[in-house]
Amino acid sequence: MKRTIGFFIFSILFASVNICSAQGNTGTVGSIEKAQMFLRFDLKNEAKNELINVLFSNAKADDKADSLYLLGTIAFSENKIIQAIDTWKDLIAKYPNSNQAKNVKNHIDELSQVTIEHAETSVNNAIAQLYLSNGDFWSGGKDSTFKIDTSWIPKVDVAIKWYDKVIGEFPKSDSARMAFRDKMRTLLGWQVPGSRADRQYGIKESFSTYMPMLLETFAKFEATFPEDPLLQPFRYQIAQAYWDNKQWAETRKWLNIIIEKSGESDNFYKDLANWRLKKVEY
C-alpha cells in the first residue's frame, strides 16, 4: 500500500517538471540542465548543489521555480517528506504564478495527508526530544504508521483508478509509461500465496471481467509507446492468459503477433512463441 501511494504522488509531481537551463544567463552560477544530467546518473548530491547555486544566482524566476520544484522532488524521492513539503511551500510562496507552483499546489494537501505519516520529523528542542524519547520508551509497541483495513475493497479497481489518473493527467510522459505497465500487471492479476482459491485478483479472479480491460489498455499502451521494450513480454502474458483459459484460437493469434512483430530478428519471445505454438492445447 505504501509503495503504491508513493509511486502515484511521485509520478504526479515529477511528471510535469519543466526543465529549463539557467546557464544562458550572464553571471549565473548553476544550471538546471546540468542538475538534470546529475540526476540521470543518480548523483543527487551534485544535483542538489547545482540547483541551490541556481537559487542564489541571478537566474530567471522560471529557473529558480524549477530549482525549488526539483529540490522538493529529490527530497521526496529520498523519503524526506517534511523537507519536500517545506521546499514546495517555498515555491508556492515565492513563485505563485509559475506552472511548477500551480502543479504542486493542486496536490500539497494530499501529500501532507497521505505521506506525512511515513516521515521523520526533526525536533530542535533538546528537552522536548528527551520527553519524546521517554514516551517512546514506554510505548515501544505502538505502530509508527497507520494501518488500513482493505477487506471488502476491490483492490484491482481502486488501483486502476490511480493508474488512470497518471495516464490522463500526464499523457505520453515517463510516468504514464510506468502507469500503463503497472495497470496491465494489475489486470493480469495475482493470487495471495497460501490462501484459498477465492483470494485471487485481476484475470485470475475473473477472466471475463478483466481480460477486455487488459486488451483495451494494451492497445492504448502500444499506440502511445509503440517502441516500448515491454510490448513483446506483455503480448506473451496475454497469450498465456488465453492459454490458461483454454482459448486456443486467441492463444495462437497472440503468439503469431509476437512472431510477426519480431520480423527477421531472433529473440527470446519469438523463440518462446514458436515453441509454444508447437503444443498449444494440452
- 276 pLDDT more than 90: yes
* Fold match between domain 2-118 and domain 155-277: yes
CATH class of 155-277: mainly alpha
**Residue 158: what pLDDT?**
96
Q: Please state which of the ranges 147-156, 207-216, 240-249 shows the lowest mean pLDDT.
A: 147-156
Average pLDDT over residues 87-103: 93
Task: Please state, in angstroms and rounded to a whole number, the distance separating the CA atoms of residues 178 and 174.
Answer: 6
**How far is CA 260 from each of CA 131, 208, 231, 232, 256, rounded to the nearest angstrom?**
68, 27, 13, 11, 6
- Percent with pLDDT over 70 in the chain: 82
Average pLDDT over residues 222-246: 97
For 52-72, the pLDDT digits (tens) are 999 999 999 999 999 999 999
Query: Would you kindly state where each structural domain of the chain is located, as residue ranges?
Result: 2-118, 155-277
pTM score of the predicted model: 0.70
Average pLDDT over residues 76-81: 84
**Residue 107: what pLDDT?**
78
Q: Which CATH number fits domain 2-118: 1.25.40, 1.10.4100, 1.10.287, 1.10.10?
A: 1.25.40
- Give the chain's mean pLDDT: 85
Decide the pairing of beta strands 190-191 and 200-201. Answer: antiparallel
For 7-18, the pLDDT digits (tens) are 445 554 555 444
Task: Please state, in angstroms and rounded to a whole number, the distance separating the CA atoms of residues 75 and 59.
Answer: 22
For 162-205, the pLDDT digits (tens) are 999 999 988 999 889 999 999 999 999 998 877 555 689 999 99
